[in-house]
Structure 1
Amino acid sequence: MSLLYLALLLASLGCMVVLDRRFTLFFWSEPRRAALVLALGTLFFVLWDIAGIALGIFLRGQNEISTGLLLGPHFPVEELVFLVFLCYLSMVLFRGTQRLLTARRPA
């Protein structure tokens, strides 16, 4: 059992929190709305994964960098952390891009 992949995911998530805090992009801009968007986005992808697992499309591969802890059949704990990271990253990128484009718009 290894914690490498989970640790890397958590470190990446931490970096996104630092960026979000520094530039007030997502959670530090509107915390309630951000929590709702993050929860709904993560839920969507979890349901997507569950459907893929049920259809036999998604399977858990054995590797040496994962914990081996499963939340369900073929659904490792790292997958949930990755989905949270993916949704958070998407929203930080969206808000950051939106801010950059607004700043570049001629007055």
Structure 2
Amino acid sequence: MPGAYLAAILLSFAGIAVLDVRLRLAFPVAPGRTAAAGALGTAFFLLWDLVGIGAGVFVKGDSALYVGVVLAPHLPLEEPVFLAFLCYLALVSWAGAQRVLGRRASARTQEHAR
């Protein structure tokens, strides 16, 4: 089924965005910084991929799940979308972890104050 992989990435992206907005983790708190960090991370990993492709380390496999659009040799359209999702997921996960750890530290501080 062509496009299934891209659809899965976009659905996952949407799910993380819903969690991000609902819990106010990354984008709602600092949209500019979140967008910049996501863009820089995506650019870094895309450059990494291009170096790997040039070195012959990364190759595009054949799959009926791809849309079929190739941006460069061995670089399907799905790759930069996946890299953007990966960076956004990392940002949201980091913000969530900071919140959880901050609450634990705050609870410990309050407990010691008693």
Counterpart in 2 of 1:19? 19
* Bigger radius of gyration among the two: 2
RMSD of equivalent CA atoms: 0.9
Counterpart in 2 of 1:43? 43
Q: CA deviation at 1:67?
A: 0.9
Q: CA deviation at 1:57?
A: 0.4
Q: CA deviation at 1:68?
A: 1.3
Alignment of 1:64-83 (within 5 A): 64-83=64-83
| 5+ residue gaps, structure 2 | 110-114
Q: Distance in 2 between matches of 1:78 and 1:99?
A: 31
Q: Distance in 2 between matches of 1:76 and 1:26?
A: 28
The amino acid of 1:20's aligned partner reads D
| 5+ residue gaps, structure 1 | none
Q: Distance in 1 between matches of 2:34 and 2:65?
A: 31
Percent of aligned pairs with the same amino acid: 47
Counterpart in 2 of 1:90? 90
Displaced runs of 4+ in structure 1, greater than 4 A?
Answer: none
The amino acid of 1:19's aligned partner reads L
Question: Please, what TM-score do these two structures have when normalized by structure 2?
Answer: 0.91
Q: Distance in 2 between matches of 1:15 and 1:30?
A: 19
